[in-house]
């Protein structure tokens, strides 16, 4: 990990009952205040929406934060967009489709390099998931086969967005989220954070802070999961 | 598809409030009544349990149906187990881990060939998921990277086990199961069936029947999803 990171990793784009990006619009406005050329990565295509339509939605959300943003699909050469921009926002949707598209467009290494040098990067849901070492803790359906599950590795921990506590009244026999993350730890070693809807992780240099009212659930392999609130020092996550 | 298939595809191994395989024990007893050497494929390891411990659980369930079963991990050469058995039961757990282990042990083609020639195959959850062309409609977390998402293709449709209807009271913004399946259809063409807990698909030769009280939700690309009950003719699924 470099000591130049500037990341805003949001669990979700929308929190009930607010509109798209409304719950975090002040955070966005502050995070990107010095930026003039922000690129939206639309590849995750929630619900199968077109890249153009997804970018329109993102533009509306950024407009509410007083910012302009351009969709990566507007560029003949997406690599050029990444080389010249001063900020990136990667939207949610299907994580497998997002990662596959990033590989197909040759953008994994270029984005990784620029963000590690300090380029501001914001993600929601799938866009936050790819900030970790792999997408192995996504909740999404594997509708396409990416050439690898390895992602940007900006941070050393894996993210589980939309983290949900088990419903004590459920009789459903599908696995709970916590069971799934424990299965992950039978096969993998790094920390997983369960980011509840409305929670944001902000990383500046070597400091990480939790924004939002909900606590962060941290899964360290071989230990009981622990909760941290927005007053906790959670810098150990970056070690 | 061959006309010699004998499949029992169960959504889940356990239905509330019954014990493991209890809800389907008569179906299992009948399905395997002519079999004397049934192999249990334990690779999906639910909750990260060991292969041996998982096989013990399966043996208990089969004992209740008056049957014996041997875990694939008891054989030095798993291929030999497949070559000599007269029935296979593949248990649920993590679909990615199951598929990766099947590839690593070189069992995809041998199992495919024997089942296509009439060998009796039963699956629960992940074990049913792999009976379709791919695991692209699993609900599981991608905790390991398999060399492909392609599975046995015994049947031409994809299966979504533990199918769940949207909760009308939920404020959670994660995708519903139906949204995910629609995303699948933006990238893939074949039919997906949502198999609710307690539902079983039985395939004999070129006939498919639904067992259980719950209806089957069938997703055809570009059309509204439709429900079929256990009196419906659903043979079109095998076309």
Which whole number is the average pLDDT over B63-69? 97
| A51: pLDDT strictly greater than 90 | yes
Closest CA to B174 of A14, A154, A218: A14
Which whole number is the average pLDDT over A150-177? 88
Q: Is the pTM of this model over 0.90?
A: yes
Q: With bands split at pLDDT 50, 70 and 90, how would you rate the model's confidence at A172?
A: confident
- The strands making up A6-10's β-sheet, listed across from edge to edge, are A70-71, A38-41, A87-90, A120-124, A6-10, A200-204, A207-211
Catalytic residues of B: 125, 140, 162
B interface residues, A as partner, C-beta within 8 Å: 12-17, 45-48, 93-94, 96-97, 135-145, 148-149, 162, 164, 171-175, 179-188, 197
Pairing state between β B192-194 and B120-124: unpaired
Whether A141 and B138 lie within 8 Å, measured CB to CB: yes
Helices (DSSP H) in chain A: which residue ranges? Answer: 25-31, 51-64, 78-84, 95-104, 108-116, 126-129, 177-187
Whether B143 and A187 lie within 8 Å, measured CB to CB: yes
Give me A126's structure tokens. Answer: 């799938």
Nearest-by-CA chain B residue for A161: B174
Considering only CB atoms, B47 lies closest to which of A13, A139, A182, namely A182
Considering only CB atoms, A197 lies closest to which of B46, B93, B173, namely B173
> What's the complex ipTM?
0.93
Q: Which residues contact A169 (CB under 8 A, 6 or more apart)?
A: none
Helix (H) / strand (E) element for B193: namely strand B192-194
CA angle A91, A51, B175 (to 5 degrees): 50
Whether A145 and B148 lie within 8 Å, measured CB to CB: yes
Instruction: HSE, CB side, 13 Å, CA atoms: give it for residue A24.
Output: 28
Which whole number is the average pLDDT over A143-153? 98
Residues written for chain B:
239
Interface test with B, best of A142, A149, A214 (most B CBs within 10 A): A142
| B168: pLDDT strictly greater than 80 | no
Query: Within 10 A of A79 (CB to CB), how many other CB atoms are there?
Result: 14
Cβ contacts of B94 on chain A, cutoff 8 Å: 183
Catalytic residue chosen out of the listed positions A42, A128, A140, A199 = A140
Instruction: HSE, CB side, 13 Å, CA atoms: give it for residue B230.
Output: 12
- DSSP annotation of B164 reads -
- Quote the pLDDT of residue B165: 84
Whether B48 and A186 lie within 8 Å, measured CB to CB: yes
Rounded (to 5) percent helix, strand, coil in chain A = 30, 20, 50
Cβ contacts of A16 on chain B, cutoff 8 Å: 171-173
> Please, what are the domains in chain A?
6-238 (3.40.50.880)
pLDDT digits (tens, 9 = 90+) for B74-127: 999 999 999 999 999 999 999 999 999 999 999 999 999 999 999 999 999 999
- Quote the pLDDT of residue A169: 78
- Quote the pLDDT of residue B137: 97
Which whole number is the average pLDDT over A61-79? 97
Q: How far is the C-alpha of B100 from the C-alpha of B147, rounded, in Å?
A: 7
Strands (E), chain A: 6-10, 38-41, 70-71, 87-90, 120-124, 158-160, 192-194, 200-204, 207-211, 216-219, 226-228
A interface residues, B as partner, C-beta within 8 Å: 12-17, 45-48, 93-94, 96-97, 135-145, 148-149, 162, 164, 171-175, 179-188, 197
Residue A121 pairs in a beta bridge with A7, A88
| A173: pLDDT strictly greater than 80 | no
Cβ contacts of A164 on chain B, cutoff 8 Å: 172, 174
- Quote the pLDDT of residue B2: 78
| B171: pLDDT strictly greater than 90 | no
């Amino acid at each position: 990990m470099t000591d130049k990171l500037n990341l805003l990793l949001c669990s979700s784009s929308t929190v009930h009952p607010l509109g798209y990006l409304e719950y975090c619009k002040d955070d966005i406005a502050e995070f990107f205040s010095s930026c003039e050329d922000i690129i939206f990565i639309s590849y995750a295509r929630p619900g199968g929406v077109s890249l153009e339509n997804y970018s329109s939605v993102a533009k509306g959300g950024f407009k509410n934060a007083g910012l302009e943003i351009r969709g990566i699909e507007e560029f003949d050469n997406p690599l050029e967009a990444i080389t010249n921009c001063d900020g990136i926002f990667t939207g949610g949707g299907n994580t497998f489709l997002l990662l596959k598209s990033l590989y197909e467009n040759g953008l994994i290494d270029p984005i990784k390099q620029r963000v590690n040098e300090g380029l501001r990067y914001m993600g929601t849901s799938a866009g936050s998931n790819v900030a970790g070492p792999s997408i192995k803790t996504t909740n999404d359906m594997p509708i396409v086969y990416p050439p690898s599950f390895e992602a940007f590795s900006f941070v050393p921990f894996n993210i589980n967005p939309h983290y949900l506590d088990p419903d004590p009244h459920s009789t459903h026999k599908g696995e709970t989220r916590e069971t799934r993350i424990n299965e992950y730890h039978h096969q993998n070693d790094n920390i997983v954070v369960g980011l509840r809807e409305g929670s944001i992780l902000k990383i500046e240099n070597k400091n990480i802070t939790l924004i939002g009212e909900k606590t962060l659930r941290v899964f360290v392999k071989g230990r009981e999961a622990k909760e941290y609130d927005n007053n906790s020092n959670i810098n150990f996550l970056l070690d």
